[in-house]
């Protein structure tokens, strides 16, 4: 019978198994792998809220973290959101109030009154002011200057309206042209009324330096008519641009009701 030889090259002798505490068994590996994944997810969740510090605790309550999250919101942001929610939606264009309409109406009335009264209030000049500064008729005919004679009346509305324009022209040419004011209510000027054919007032007669009439302008007309005629007289021209022009005037026949007799007056 043959014998079995034992050598190192022969049969493998199994080694006895000894369990070590620090050795990880293959059957435990899946559990450790799941535990590591769970810890990884917990770390990711904690990174989303790094300021709280309590989310990673195993006993942390989700409701408490929600309360802390709400308290961490800045007060200003909360007020702005609440204001945005409280503000009512737009309902359409806002219409003017009754008080606003009253103010607009008042301003419009005042502006209309100012425009209507501006010709009478301009420079604060009245017929009496022009009459007081006027030159006596006899003196004007003898000083060798051209003359503008205005026939007027205190009750003449058109005369009062044109007073500021007459005053401006007079101030501009008073050193070269005489300005005379004759009141049609004064019976002293009956002869002059007939001589110059005064039927309506205001009546402006333009006389050269020798006292000869160059033309006349009657009634309400643009200031340019008076200005250009006076300028032609001041420059000694042979004729005036407007030798005969008639606008809206007041009838001189009304003077019979207001007639006065004052021979000493030059107006």
Residues annotated as part of the active site: 156, 159
Q: What share of the chain is helix, strand, coil (3-state, %, to 5)?
A: 45, 15, 40
CA 115 → CA 38, 86, 122, 222, distances in Å?
91, 50, 11, 17
Q: Are 202 and 218 in contact (CB under 8 A)?
A: yes
Q: Report the candidate in 140, 145, 122, 152 with the shortest Cα–Cα distance to residue 180.
A: 140
Q: Report the candidate in 203, 205, 216 with the shortest Cα–Cα distance to residue 250.
A: 203
Q: Tokens at residue 108, please?
A: 């419009």
Q: Report the candidate in 157, 241, 172 with the shortest Cα–Cα distance to residue 206.
A: 241
Tokens 């969740």 map to which residue? 45
Measured at the CA of 49, the angle between CA 45 and CA 52, to 5 degrees, comes to 120
Q: Report the candidate in 127, 171, 133 with the shortest Cα–Cα distance to residue 152.
A: 127
Measured at the CA of 235, the angle between CA 234 and CA 239, to 5 degrees, comes to 95
Tokens 């425009």 map to which residue? 115
Strand partners, 150: 181, 204
């Amino acid at each position: 019978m043959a014998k079995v030889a034992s050598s190192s090259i022969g049969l493998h002798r199994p080694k006895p198994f000894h369990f070590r505490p620090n050795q990880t068994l293959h059957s435990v590996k899946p559990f450790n792998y799941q535990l590591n994944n769970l810890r990884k997810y917990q770390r990711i969740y904690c990174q989303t809220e790094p300021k709280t510090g309590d989310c990673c605790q195993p006993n942390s309550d989700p409701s408490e973290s929600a309360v802390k999250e709400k308290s961490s919101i800045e007060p200003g942001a909360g007020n702005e959101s609440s204001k945005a929610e409280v503000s009512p939606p737009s309902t359409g264009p806002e219409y003017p109030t009754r008080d606003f309409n009253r103010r607009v109406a008042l301003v419009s009335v005042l502006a209309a009154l100012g425009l209507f009264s501006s010709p009478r209030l301009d420079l604060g000049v009245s017929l009496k002011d022009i009459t007081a500064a006027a030159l006596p008729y006899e003196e004007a005919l003898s000083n060798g200057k051209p003359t503008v004679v205005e026939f007027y009346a205190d009750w003449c509305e058109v005369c009062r309206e044109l007073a500021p324009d007459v005053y401006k022209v007079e101030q501009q040419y008073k050193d070269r042209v005489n300005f005379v004011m004759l009141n049609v209510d004064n019976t002293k000027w009956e002869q002059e009324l007939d001589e110059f054919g005064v039927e309506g007032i205001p009546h402006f007669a333009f006389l050269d330096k020798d006292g000869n009439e160059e033309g006349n302008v009657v009634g309400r007309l643009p200031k340019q008519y008076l200005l250009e005629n006076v300028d032609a007289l001041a420059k000694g021209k042979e004729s005036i641009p407007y030798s005969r022009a008639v606008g809206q005037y007041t009838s001189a026949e009304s003077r019979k009701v207001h007639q006065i007799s004052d021979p000493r007056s030059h107006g």
